[in-house]
Amino acid sequence: LARVYNFGAGPSMLPEPVLERAREELLDWRGTGISMLETNHRGADFRELAQVSEAKLRRLLSIPEPYRVLFLHGPARIHYSAVPLNLLRGRTRADYADTGIWSDGAIKEGRRYCEVNVVASSRPEHYTRIPPFAQWRLDPQAAYLHITPNETIGGVEFHDWPDTGEVPLVGDFSSTILSRPVDVERFGLIYSGAQKNMGIAGLSVVIVREDLLGAADPRTPSMLDYAHQVAERSLAATAPTFAWYLADLMLDWVEAQGGVAAMAERNRRKAEKLYRFIDGSNYYANPVEPASRSWMNVPFTLAEPAEDERFLAEARAAGLAGLKGHRFVGGMRASLYNAMPEAGVDALVAFMGDFMERRP
């Protein structure tokens, strides 16, 4: 089996033990003679998985008691709509920070439901930094402040949180959940897709402070009404059983790695190794302000863009896949989610050095 290092931005690489376990159990889950794929979401086995996986996520992220946890269908992007529908609570204005393409998507969708106040934007700087919090124009009457803690396309990441006072902070953690500890109490609501650090496409997770619930817009689709899903324990309809199961396996794996603090230590090392190489290379470049650089997604360019295609082809032949940059920014992008081993980064750095040396 020629497994490769997959640097794709998502759906992303999964740890081999998780894949192996999924394969082993695929035809017969827990000795039931029934495949995980066929398992009833209301049966005792699945209900136990649901309970246990929530407990694992609570343990890993130290989620305090007044927060509820939902495991819902995807995509994460549906929460661009569900957040205003649930959290406006009769207010007409919400704050949004604009730090990249994903923030911008959330803002555009938010405008369907309320008056959006963009508190800060790094668009004029081509999304190469998180604007300093001191410059943010926060609205004390905002229903919430929405941020995107990590932008997969620009490769910028928050390494601290703004102080929002009484205004609930909402974060789209799709590309950063479980990659490092997070002080959940700083947030009113956290949502995330699963397909980067928590499994496969088809599942989204919501962590929400209970007192914010119960005042959803009456036209909110029931499936997106968080209070309703809390009451139904995420089972208001057939759950995305297999994606949920995969998330459970991923949570086990993160625990076995030492938890999110250990993941953070490893992720910081992986990212620093790659940034250090890029910065010292005189051939590769990353445009992001160092203090805002992402641990998860490292975009970089070659000094000779004409070499991009050869770089990608030779990298792929060397077992390094998914390096093509997003069409909005071009160049390359290496995504270093939890499942990317340090050996993958070492292999990438070695290849990049070699490619640079060998250039005509």
CA 356 – CA 351 distance, rounded (Å)? 8
Of residues 43 and 132, the one with the C-beta less far from its own copies = 43
In whole angstroms, the minimum distance from the beta carbon of 214 to its own copies comes to: 16
Our finding on whether 343 is near its own copies (CB under 8 A) is: no
Distances (CA, A) of 140 to 106, 165, 168, 250, 343: 20, 8, 10, 39, 47
Task: List the catalytic residue out of 172, 244, 270, 324.
Answer: 172
The answer to whether 203 and 59 are in contact (CB under 8 A) is no
> Quick one: which of 14, 61, 169, 329 contacts its own copies (CB under 8 A)?
14
Of residues 64 and 221, the one with the C-beta less far from its own copies = 221
Our finding on whether 219 is near its own copies (CB under 8 A) is: yes
> Quick one: which of 74, 110, 325, 331 contacts its own copies (CB under 8 A)?
74
**98: annotated active-site residue:** no
47 phi and psi, to 5 degrees? -60, -35
> Quick one: which of 35, 62, 92, 141 contacts its own copies (CB under 8 A)?
35
Identify the sign of the CA torsion 332, 201, 4, 316.
Answer: negative
The answer to whether 37 and 242 are in contact (CB under 8 A) is yes
Our finding on whether 335 is near its own copies (CB under 8 A) is: no
Q: Which part of the chain contacts its own copies (CB under 8 A), choosing from 9-17, 116-124, 165-173, 346-354?
A: 9-17
Number of Cα atoms under 13 Å in the Cβ half of residue 57? 30
Q: Which part of the chain contacts its own copies (CB under 8 A), choosing from 129-137, 192-200, 267-275, 299-307?
A: 192-200
Our finding on whether 321 is near its own copies (CB under 8 A) is: yes
Our finding on whether 318 is near its own copies (CB under 8 A) is: no
Task: List the catalytic residue out of 102, 244, 253, 295.
Answer: 102
The DSSP bridge partners found for residue 205 are 71, 192
Q: Which part of the chain contacts its own copies (CB under 8 A), choosing from 123-131, 195-203, 262-270, 276-284?
A: 195-203
- For residues 205-237, one letter each, b for 16 or more C-beta atoms within 10 angstroms of the residue's C-beta and e for the rest, the string is bbbbbeebbeebeeebeeebbbbbbbeebbebe
| Binding-residue total with its own copies (CB under 8 A) | 66
Q: Quick one: 122 exposed, middle or buried, by C-beta within 10 A (0-12, 13-18, 19+)?
A: buried
DSSP states of 136-185 as a string?
----TT-S-EEE-SEETTTTEE-SS----TTSPEEEE-TTTTTSS---GG
**354: annotated active-site residue:** no
In whole angstroms, the minimum distance from the beta carbon of 75 to its own copies comes to: 4
The answer to whether 213 and 230 are in contact (CB under 8 A) is yes
Our finding on whether 103 is near its own copies (CB under 8 A) is: no
Our finding on whether 202 is near its own copies (CB under 8 A) is: yes
Q: Which part of the chain contacts its own copies (CB under 8 A), choosing from 93-101, 141-149, 221-229, 282-290?
A: 221-229
**172: annotated active-site residue:** yes
Q: Which amino acid is at 132?
A: P
Torsion of CA 317, 319, 322, 324, to 10 degrees: -40
Our finding on whether 77 is near its own copies (CB under 8 A) is: yes
Active site residue ranges: 102, 172, 196
Residue numbers of the site for its own copies (CB under 8 A)? Answer: 1-4, 6, 8-14, 19-20, 22-23, 26-28, 32-35, 37-41, 43, 73-78, 80-82, 85, 109, 112-113, 193, 195, 200-203, 218-219, 221-224, 236-243, 246, 319, 321-322
